[in-house]
Amino acid sequence: MLELLDINTYYGNIQALKGVSIRVEAGEIITLIGANGAGKTTTLMSISGIAPPRSGQILFEGRPIHDMEPDQIVALGISQVPEGRRIFPFLSVMENLDMGAFLRRDRDGIKADLEHIFEMFPILAQRRHQQGGTLSGGEQQMLAISRALMARPRLLLLDEPSLGLAPIVVRRIFDIIERINRESGTTIFLVEQNANLALKIANRGYVMENGRITMEDKAAGLLVNEDVKKAYLGI
What is the nearest approach in angstroms of ligand ATP to the Cβ of residue 91?
25
Which position among 4, 20, 29, 42 is part of the footprint of ligand ATP (CB under 6 A)? 42
Longest dimension (CA), the chain: 51
Per CB under 6 A, the segment of 31-39, 69-77, 91-99, 130-138 that binds ligand ATP is 31-39
Q: Are 192 and 198 in contact (CB under 8 A)?
A: yes
Among 26, 37, 67, 102, binds ligand ATP (CB under 6 A): 37
Check: CB of residue 207 under 8 Å from CB of residue 228. Answer: yes
Q: Between 11 and 102, name the residue whose CB sits nearer to ligand ATP.
A: 11
**DSSP code per residue over 19-75:** EEEEEE-TT-EEEEEE-TTSSHHHHHHHHTTSS--SEEEEEETTEE-TTS-HHHHHH
If you write DSSP's letter for every residue of 144-201 in order, what string do you get?
Answer: HHHHHHTT--SEEEEE-TTTT--HHHHHHHHHHHHHHHHHH--EEEEEES-HHHHHHH
Looking at the Cβ atoms of 12 and 122, the one nearer to ligand ATP is: 12
Give the containing element (helix H, strand E) for 99. helix 93-100
**Alpha-carbon span 128 to 124, nearest angstrom:** 6
Instruction: Provide, rounded to whole angstroms, the least separation between the CB of residue 41 and ligand ATP.
Output: 3
Residue 54 CB, shortest distance to ligand ATP, in Å, is 13
Cβ 62 to ligand ATP, closest distance in Å? 26
Q: How far is the CB of 231 from ligand ATP (least distance, A)?
A: 14
- Min. distance of Cβ 16 from ligand ATP in angstroms? 4
Binds ligand ATP (CB under 6 A): choice among 7, 40, 153, 205: 40
Task: Indicate whether 16 belongs to the interface with ligand ATP (CB under 6 A).
Answer: yes
Contact present, 150 and 117 (Cβ < 8 Å): yes
- Residue 49 binds ligand ATP (CB under 6 A): no
Of residues 78 through 137, those in contact with ligand ATP by CB under 6 A are 83
Interface contacts to ligand ATP, rule CB under 6 A: 11, 14, 16, 34, 36-42, 83, 193
